Amino acid sequence: MENSKRKRETFSSGIAVFFATLGSAVGLGNIWKFPYLTGANGGGAFVFTYLVCILLVGMPVMISEFYIGRKTRKNAVGAFKELKAKPFWKSIGFMGVISSFLIMFFYSSVAGWVYSYVFKTLKGDFAALASQSMEQAAATVNQQFDAAVGGPVSPFVWQVIVMAVVSIIIIAGVRKGIERITKTLLPLLFVLIIICGIRALTLEGAVPGLKFLFQPDFSKLSPSVILSALGLAFFKLSLGMGTMITYSSYFTEEDNLFVTSAKVAISDTIVSLLAGIAIFPVVFTFGMEPGAGTGLLFKTIPLVFSKIPFGNLLLTAFFFLTSIAATTAMLSLLEVPVAYFIEEKEMSRNKAVLLTSGIILLIGILTVHPESIFGNVVIAGKGFFDLFDFISSNILMPIGGLLISIFVGYIANREDTENELSNHGTLNNRGMIKTYLNILRYVTPALLIIVFLNCIGIIKL
């Protein structure tokens, strides 16, 4: 066992750890879901509540996963075996692996839409929008979206392309694959989203858009808005799905787990806010509805950018950065089951990647355009896309996060936890550790229980 640990690959430096972990957290949720939920829940008040939830739920669970991963140097399942946890607690790791699969089944489909939109913008499919009336342009955008998600051939082809790209990177390994790509693409993502944001700030709707995003109106707060912010804070940081346990198992011994979690949480939030800065000024400029819904990214953004100078170039940049976010997030999701198969089933990395990708494509096709193949199949009132999303996001991930907080807060050896978080006594952070453990033991589980009970409909707030 010790020999396998010494041979295990790790990230090369602290900056590599930061970009890889940030790449796991940053995804379509930042560029699509965060602006959409902010618009649907009153703007600035939702953002403020979200930041509070990051502190009380997101960071404590993230630090806990960091501790488990680096302490054991194992995959999500093997980590709890290494900690000699009782069989019940090992279920956390299995739930993480299952959650990663379920998320990839539908996430790869959406990522395929994004990839197709990059191709569409490069091909000039939206160039004619500039000369069309708003009504004509809206019809064109709707047609393009229907073509992207209709099928099943075209969406499945793009899903295969997405999985091929992600698989090639994962096969290259931790340093040559995940580390190299995230260190290259994440800075590029920041540059592109800043460019889009700067252009949006020159529009007429910049002031009302920024007020909507940053000026809290606490009269808009309600229990449902608070729960929505709490759920987003937890899910958007890739928690409860095994990714942070797996990635932190590749951390170096010198990494400050508190500082890394703070950097990731802050940077992830900045990306989300930059997306809001890029979107809401243009939405207000053209009199659109901030809470327009899930079609905001694919239907309204091409329409909006087509009506401003250099719009097609900015539109290409926007969807390219969205594809970067989708790709880096999928790297962490795919690595969870891959690491499990490598370490627990003794597979080679190549075989583990091919097996995992094959399962994702085989079942993921159900989320592409299932009615074209299987007819209108509905399970518990949901199609396959919504079903996979519901099981992972509303059941497995909240339970996983709750169990992790309970395990580290009450079951794990307190001395081992403090030793790992202080880097074996080299960091003077005993007060921070005490504060973290108090939040983890008393605040985080209570909030996660409320979220879970609300998600499954036992309580209605």
What domain range includes position 138? 2-455
Domain membership of residue 297 (yes or no) is: yes
Reading the block at residue 93, the tokens are: 């790791």
Domain membership of residue 388 (yes or no) is: yes
The domain total for the chain is 1
Domain membership of residue 461 (yes or no) is: no
Domain membership of residue 416 (yes or no) is: yes
Reading the block at residue 7, the tokens are: 């041979």
pLDDT in tens, the chain (461 residues): 344 444 567 888 778 887 788 777 777 777 777 877 787 787 888 889 889 889 998 999 999 999 999 999 999 999 998 988 788 898 999 999 999 999 999 889 889 988 998 998 898 888 888 787 767 877 888 788 777 776 668 888 999 999 999 999 999 888 888 888 888 888 888 888 888 888 888 888 899 989 988 888 888 777 777 777 877 777 678 788 889 999 999 998 899 999 999 988 888 888 888 888 888 887 788 777 766 555 666 776 787 777 677 778 888 888 888 888 888 888 989 999 999 999 999 999 999 999 999 999 999 888 876 555 555 677 777 888 888 888 887 788 888 889 999 999 999 999 999 999 999 999 999 999 999 999 999 999 998 888 777 766 777 66
Question: Using CA of residue 229, residue 93, residue 111, residue 274, what is the dihedral sign?
Answer: positive
Domain membership of residue 362 (yes or no) is: yes
Domain membership of residue 460 (yes or no) is: no
Domain membership of residue 315 (yes or no) is: yes
Task: Give the CATH number of the domain where residue 362 resides.
Answer: 1.10.4160
Residue 398 preceded by cis peptide, ω within 30: no
Domain membership of residue 30 (yes or no) is: yes
The predicted model scores a pTM of 0.86
Instruction: Give the residue from 176, 174, 182, 168 showing the smallest Cα distance to 22.
Output: 182
